[in-house]
Amino acid sequence: MSTMPTNIQVPADASRLPMTLPRLIEMKRHREPIVMVTAYDHPSARAAEQAGVDLVLVGDSGAMTVLGYDSTVPVELDELLVLAKAVRRGLRTPFLVGDLPFGSYEVSDEQAVQTAMRFVKEAGCDAVKLEGGGSTSVARARAIVAAGIPVMGHVGLTPQTSTALGGYKAQGRSAAAANRIAREALALQEAGCFSIVFEAIPSAVAEELMPHLHVPVIGIGAGPSVDGQVLVFHDLLGIREGLGARFVKRYANLLDEMVAGVAAYAHDVRDRTYPGPEHGYSIDEAELQDFRATLAEHDPGVAHPV
């Protein structure tokens, strides 16, 4: 017969336990704001971990923020998997979500499931996210959920299909458009999505929809009534040029600091003030003399300092 251990240690701050889907539902139930950020590499993941966020998204926005593409459309699945693997190695407690890139899930349910499985098996993601709430996206979400992988939905402004939506602009600003968003969100919920992102929709529309959704809703430009907020890492820290979207609040201006730091380094190198004596390593004088003698034997024509 076994006995229950008596030395179980429970952290005083339960929020430092790994985030789970039941915990997210509890947060919604108790109206605890959910914090989500994007991350694309090990350093950004460590920052998210140490800041105590709840969810981390390896967003396809990494196509623009770290890979240099003009939009999210060109990024390949293998590229996002490399980013996701790096993020996974930097996280312990946040729930990790991988963004399915354009063209990696639309063709068939089988393609969608295979892509989602790669995010889970190869990158260690806890869940995946896909864009849109039309019939195709809903069917793919349902298939991935049926395969045992949690899915986060995404309605409103969906960057992968922004051309069809008229560009990067707010959605749901007419009754017809708001009704479309409502239908899509409810369809994704019915398909089994554990959470839904509302992007760039009127705050009042989001507020009206909240009583109809029992899964956590994460907003980005959707006002304060949703269950949580997400911002792109490079937007909130100011690591990219330009002002960004209306909904972005910058909490730092790190790009300015980065440019200033590199410029100062370049100045010191050109001015020969870096490296200084304090940045070098020493060698015992006797060892140095032996080294000089050896060099002289191999190349007697070269004069060496005494």
Task: Please say if 199 is a catalytic residue.
Answer: yes
Task: Choose, from 106, 199, 208, 287, the residue flagged as catalytic.
Answer: 199
User: Rounded to whole angstroms, how far apart are CA atoms 192 and 181?
Assistant: 17
Q: Minimal CA–CA distance to 130: which of 139, 175, 122?
A: 139
Contacts 24+ apart (CB under 8 A), 182-187: 182/209, 182/212, 183/133, 184/132, 184/133, 184/134, 184/137, 184/138, 184/153, 184/155, 185/133, 185/153, 185/155, 185/209, 185/212, 185/213, 185/217, 186/212, 186/213, 187/133, 187/138
Where does residue 220 rank: exposed (0-12), middle (13-18), buried (19+ CB within 10 A)?
A: buried
Helix axes 135-146, 175-190, angle to 10 degrees: 20
C-alpha of 36 from chain center: 9
Task: Report, as residue numbers or ranges, the catalytic residues.
Answer: 199
